[in-house]
Chains A and B, each alone.
Chain A
Amino acid sequence: MADQTLEVENLHLWRGEHHVLRGVHFALARGACLEVCGANGSGKTTLLRTLCGLIYPEDGRVLWNGENVRRDLRAFHAALAYLGHEPPLKSDLTARENLHYWIGIRRQLSAEELTAALARVGALSFCERQVRTLSAGQRRRVALAGIALLAVPLWLLDEPVTNLDAEGRELVAGLIGEQLARGGMVVAAVHQGLPPSVRNLTRLELAA
């Protein structure tokens, strides 16, 4: 566990005629955060989805602890948490039920842990309500609780601060800070930038 790294070598990806990823190259060590910036359509989401193996790049590779992730994709997936720009929540279930199923499918989870995570993101007051009745910002808080609960070394977050108020953005910064402090890594796609309180940050600027 001591030398966890995420290395990305020379990723190339075309979408039809459009050359989206043009030789993306970076390395991330324990406790480091990568902020992926760029205009709409510059390939931030595509890069995240390529990193986690949902999309096959035409060229280049992703190395986790020095091993090509394609060699054991499931082991890599067990080490990562991906949050797309829509929180993966069922609108007919309550926030708590959602986390119970979503996180429980991946790891053993006690009710106390669940409650603590909901409290951490300020979701205790609305966690028994069906997600359809929650605001976009409240849903994002619930999703962030889920990411934290997964307790995995690598977070891939797509626009984590969208829909959040100032306090919510600081919450994201705090959660990322905790993840980095325990030696985890974070890759966050953000078009506005992460809050300034996130330390140990490298920025990757994608050109449109």
Chain B
Amino acid sequence: MSPESHAGHALAPVRTSLEPTAETAPAAPAADAFEAARLALLRDLQLAFRKRSQLIQPLAFFAMVTLLFPLAVSPELSRLRELAPGVLWVGALLASLLAVEFLFRDDAYDGTLEQYALSGQSLTALMFAKTLAHWLLTGFPLALMAPLAALSLGVSASALPGIVAAVAVGSVTLSLIGSIGAVLIFGARATELAIHGAPAHAPLELLAALAVLGTTLAPLAAAAAVRISLE
């Protein structure tokens, strides 16, 4: 370590009495990617239950949008039934986006994302864990709430299982924010078919395909986005 001088900075030894002595202590065994993802998931879930207002806000938002919609438009059932798929899906999308913001904003501010990027673990695996946490905290409860919202929009009870399935599967992709536009199209279509009592297999399968595609690609994209945002 020779003292050197360069344009813009200077290097100088200050106190050099101590010699490095002992061998490096044996490194602690690293956590594997699965353990890292498990802890990242648990951290987000525990945080959500500590901060219940953030947990409830997106769900309350969804409930308000879908329950107040009939009051705002018209109580005429045939008309509501026509609008129901769009209302359900736009409500689910906005609720989902609201929760995404909660999920990433704090991590970006307090340096958690930085620590994730520097953890030596797969950032993709950690982003997958965050996405799973997001779905468990929003998509899953939204699917459970969907029947209530659908009933208030005049949808018949026989259509409810189809709607629950569509929201549950479609919200996976909403969580992955892979292709929001496509989710809206196919999600609304599946919901519409379910309402009319027609078989909704085809759009449901498309939704599932998007969810699978998103699951493989979105965490990669999220990891890249985090790296860029940290620069």
Contacts and interface: CB of A to CB of B under 8 A. Distances in A.
A108 B114 CA distance: 20
A152 interface: yes
Contact of A104 (B27, B35, B106): B35
A166 interface: no
Contacts of B12: 202-203, 205
Interface in A149-208: 151-153, 180-184, 196, 198-207
A78 B40 CA distance: 17
A105 B8 contact: no
B76 interface: no
Q: Which 9 A-B pairs have the closest CB atoms?
A: A31-B20, A78-B120, A22-B8, A88-B111, A199-B18, A77-B120, A101-B43, A92-B50, A183-B24
Given A53-B118, A101-B39, A153-B24, 9 more contacts: A79-B120, A88-B114, A92-B47, A180-B20, A182-B22, A198-B15, A201-B16, A204-B10, A206-B8
Contacts, number: 182
A23 B31 contact: no
B118 A54 contact: yes
A29 B11 CA distance: 15
A134 interface: no
Given A200-B16, A202-B13, A205-B12, A182 B24 contact: yes
A102 interface: yes
Which secondary structure dominates chain A's binding surface? loop
B106 A90 contact: yes
B28 to A, nearest CB: 4
Interface of B: 1, 4, 6-25, 27-31, 35-36, 39-40, 42-43, 46-47, 50-51, 106, 109-112, 114-122, 126, 230-231
Contact of A205 (B9, B112, B119): B9
A105 B111 contact: no
Interface of A: 1-2, 4, 19, 21-32, 35, 38, 52-56, 74-75, 77-80, 82, 84, 86-93, 97, 100-102, 104-109, 151-153, 180-184, 196, 198-207
Contacts of B24: 1, 4, 30, 153, 182-184
A86 B120 contact: no
